[in-house]
Structure 1
């Protein structure tokens, strides 16, 4: 009876913490909407939201055409990268695994660099050609990693090794493009890799939100299997979990999440690494709570980074990828020291 009461209390505590994370996310969402070069107060934001996208008021136009798409993109991209990072860490049993580890983000960067260098356009628009090339390249890298992984079985070590190979290879190709390109083209390529929310729009927000929804539909029903796998592969197999199939599902889902995120706004570092760890520290390894908490933490981290980027820049917005990378380094050092102590 005491064990049952303890379990119920732990579940209530997790639900409460998840609710508090949701409240913090909502507060940061509103704060990010209210922050920008053109001052909008709380009243103007509420009135602008209620007026709808068809309003002719200048403040409502700023809100619906600039602020809201950027804030929604930050929230959804953070959520997508965090959910992808959680899945990758679970199937590789590696606390330091992330979207960048598997080379998917470097593949997307190379695709974008190739499109910029070649001047590839869709409907006469370079940005659409860049997005399409980045998305296609990210999915191509995933297919290559899966092909390499299948040669020796879908094991964690094989996935990480294949990802590292892809990461270094496509980073080298991108550097070659930058070296051969004109100064103007090289500047465009480097600017894309920073991860800038100023490239946000309703299309980027919809793509990231759709990817998160798809990720939830695919991964939430497998929460029990993922929790079992996090305890140990042999234990999962003994309980009837088809580990190879589960890894394939999670990796494919993570690939779509990453591709939909970085294709629009560029490379965002450390969110997929840091956010799942924050969720684990608060809620443990139960994926029924870990999946929604990771999504919330990802949105919180990127919204907070967006807010900091706006406050630090007086003119053009500081690329949010720079903020997440600087903030993520201390966390990574702490994680490495903890891992060394545990060994």
Structure 2
């Protein structure tokens, strides 16, 4: 009896509670390995974002150190963190001229890259960016119209030009959204209508250039080339405000935007209102792009190349993709800004020229040297 009782007790102890099957040790090991692999991948993605930010900081310091009056990096750092430790001339040059332009390069780069990243996501098109939907072309026309026609709503000439450029860009977005809602808010209709608007506003821009006198034509050409030279702290604050509006929205909807990359049908099956998500996201990122272009002019390739760099480094998960895209855009535009100041000492080459000259071969290198498919 004792032996039988002991044997029964031992047998009962071996049975799982409530008659459930015992846990499979192999499954436990596999789950632990998957968790460890995910953590390693997450660490690598975070490291990639940190590396992009580090490069951006180096370019930021370089762009504030060079110019008609060169400063050492130690002087720049001292002037930023302890302004009273440097002389009046250095403090004035740094805080009124160079720092606003350098900070604007960071903010505009992050804004254009974030706008391009989300446009590529909601339109399911690897070539989507602010140029695709006519935002940049419309802003160029709005700015040119102000220069030629002399329209004035604000006393400050720079902000008056930025206001009309922004209004024209948002008008283009409103046309795309309105027509898309009427036709069903499909990605294809948005892209096709955006391309049509690009040609329309380019034609209107050419008309403004045709009607302009020599001085106005020179202003139009210089503005459309893009430049950080007109930056000031008020403009920096406005661009920063647009980012403050956009980033929380994107972060709150990160899982929905990630699911959208699986296709409209699968995203809808997860309970996502695809039409609403696409339209609101387009409005938010168009606000970013329009505000940036209104203050610095036309800057190409940042909204296209930045997201692709991020996608190669961290993949499609929006939790990593969004900060990586913003860091990549800020890094690219800050490097271009620094390069524009270094090529010809004492003169700043329009940054739009730099981004085009550097962006084209850089983008081609991404296309032809990548070893894995990063889209679709």
* Structure 2 residue aligned with 1:209: 240
* Structure 2 residue aligned with 1:233: 264
1:253-268 to structure 2, matched below 5 A, reads 253-268=284-299
**2:54 is equivalent to residue 31 of structure 1:** no
> Which of 319, 323, 326 is 1:292 aligned to?
323
Whole-angstrom CA distance in 1 between matches of 2:172 and 2:203: 14
* Structure 1 residue aligned with 2:204: 173
**2:348 is equivalent to residue 317 of structure 1:** yes
My pick for the range that moved more, 150-159 or 327-336, is: 327-336
Whole-angstrom CA distance in 2 between matches of 1:332 and 1:52: 40
My pick for the range that moved more, 185-194 or 26-35, is: 26-35
Whole-angstrom CA distance in 2 between matches of 1:249 and 1:103: 18
My pick for the range that moved more, 327-336 or 297-306, is: 327-336
**2:117 is equivalent to residue 105 of structure 1:** no
How many angstroms does 1:122 deviate by?
Answer: 4.5
> Which of 278, 283, 290 is 2:309 aligned to?
278
How many angstroms does 1:120 deviate by?
Answer: 2.4
Whole-angstrom CA distance in 2 between matches of 1:41 and 1:266: 30
Whole-angstrom CA distance in 2 between matches of 1:309 and 1:255: 27
**2:156 is equivalent to residue 125 of structure 1:** yes
How many angstroms does 1:142 deviate by?
Answer: 0.8
User: For residues 42 and 328 of structure 1, do their structure 2 counterparts lie closer, same or farther at Cα, with a shift above 3 Å needed?
Assistant: closer
Contact 2:303–2:329 (CA under 8 A) maintained in structure 1: yes
Runs of 4+ in 1 over 3 A off after TM superposition: 50-56, 121-125, 331-339
My pick for the range that moved more, 25-34 or 171-180, is: 25-34
* Structure 2 residue aligned with 1:70: 101
* Structure 1 residue aligned with 2:111: 80
SS at structure 2 position matched to 1:197:
coil
Whole-angstrom CA distance in 2 between matches of 1:187 and 1:53: 40
Whole-angstrom CA distance in 2 between matches of 1:266 and 1:16: 33
Which structure has the larger Rg?
A: 2
Whole-angstrom CA distance in 1 between matches of 2:323 and 2:363: 23
Whole-angstrom CA distance in 2 between matches of 1:86 and 1:278: 10
CA deviations on 1:7-52 (whole Å, 9 max, x unpaired) are: 1221121122222222222222222221222111123212222344
My pick for the range that moved more, 136-145 or 115-124, is: 115-124
My pick for the range that moved more, 63-72 or 7-16, is: 7-16
> Which of 159, 165, 189 is 2:220 aligned to?
189
* Structure 1 residue aligned with 2:71: 40
Q: CA RMSD in A?
A: 2.1
* Structure 2 residue aligned with 1:149: 180
* Structure 1 residue aligned with 2:359: 328
Q: Provide the TM-score with structure 1 as the length reference.
A: 0.94
| Number of residue pairs matched by the alignment | 342
> Which of 141, 145, 160 is 2:191 aligned to?
160
Whole-angstrom CA distance in 1 between matches of 2:127 and 2:292: 20
User: For residues 51 and 9 of structure 1, do their structure 2 counterparts lie closer, same or farther at Cα, with a shift above 3 Å needed?
Assistant: closer
* Structure 2 residue aligned with 1:302: 333
Whole-angstrom CA distance in 1 between matches of 2:269 and 2:369: 30
How many angstroms does 1:276 deviate by?
Answer: 0.3
**2:52 is equivalent to residue 21 of structure 1:** yes
**2:279 is equivalent to residue 248 of structure 1:** yes
Contact 1:96–1:273 (CA under 8 A) maintained in structure 2: yes
How many angstroms does 1:124 deviate by?
Answer: 3.6
* Structure 2 residue aligned with 1:57: 88
How many angstroms does 1:313 deviate by?
Answer: 1.9
SS at structure 1 position matched to 2:192:
helix
